[in-house]
Chain A
Amino acid sequence: MSDLRDLYQDVILEHSKAPRNFRVQPAADHKAEGFNPLCGDRFTIYVTLDGDAIKDVSFQGAGCAISKASASMMTQSVKGKTMAEAEQIFERFHDMVTGHAEKPAEESDLGKLTVFSGVSEFPVRVKCATLAWHTLHAALEGKQDPVSTE
Chain B
Amino acid sequence: MTTAAGRIDSPPDSVTDSIDVARVRADFPILETMVHGKPLVYLDNAATSQKPRAVIDAIMRYYQGTNANVHRGVHYLSETATEDYEGARKIAQQFINAAHSREIIFVRGTTEGINLVAQTLGRTRIGAGDEILITAMEHHSNIVPWQILCEEKGAKLRVAPINDNGELLLDEYANLLSPKTKLVAVTHVSNALGTINPLKRMVELAHAHNVPVLVDGAQAVPHIKVDVQALDCDFYTFSGHKVYAPTGIGVLYGKTALLESMPPYQGGGDMISSVTFERTTYNKLPYKFEAGTPDIAGVIGLGAALTYVENLGIENIGAHEHDLLVYATAAVSAIPGVRIIGTAREKAAVVSFVVEGVHPHDIGTILDQQGIAIRTGHHCSQPVMERFGIPATARASFAVYNTRGEIDALVGGIQKVKEVFA
Contacts and interface: CB of A to CB of B under 8 A. Distances in A.
Nearest to B390: A40
B135 to A, nearest CB: 21
Interface stretch (B89-97, B240-248, B286-294, B362-370): B362-370
A63 B361 CA distance: 9
Interface of B: 36-37, 357-362, 365-366, 369, 376-378, 382, 385, 391-392, 420-421
A1 B37 contact: yes
Contacts of B421: 8, 13, 65
A40 B37 CA distance: 30
A40 B365 contact: no
6 contacts: A13-B421, A39-B376, A39-B378, A62-B391, A65-B362, A124-B365
A38 B36 CA distance: 23
A39 B365 contact: no
Contacts of B365: 4, 7, 122, 124-125
Interface in A46-74: 62-66, 68
B360 A39 contact: yes
Contacts of B362: 8, 64-66
Contact of B420 (A8, A40, A68): A8
Nearest to A38: B377
Interface size class of A (residues with CB under 8 A): 20 to 34
Contacts of B378: 39-40
Chain B CB count within 10 A is highest, among A1, A38, A64, A125, for A64
A118 to B, nearest CB: 11
Given A39-B376, A64-B362, 7 more contacts: A1-B37, A4-B420, A41-B391, A63-B391, A65-B362, A65-B421, A125-B361
Chain A CB count within 10 A is highest, among B36, B362, B378, B392, for B362
Contacts of A64: 359-362
A7 B369 CA distance: 11
Chain A CB count within 10 A is highest, among B37, B359, B391, for B359
Given A39-B376, A40-B378, A40-B385, A1 B36 contact: yes
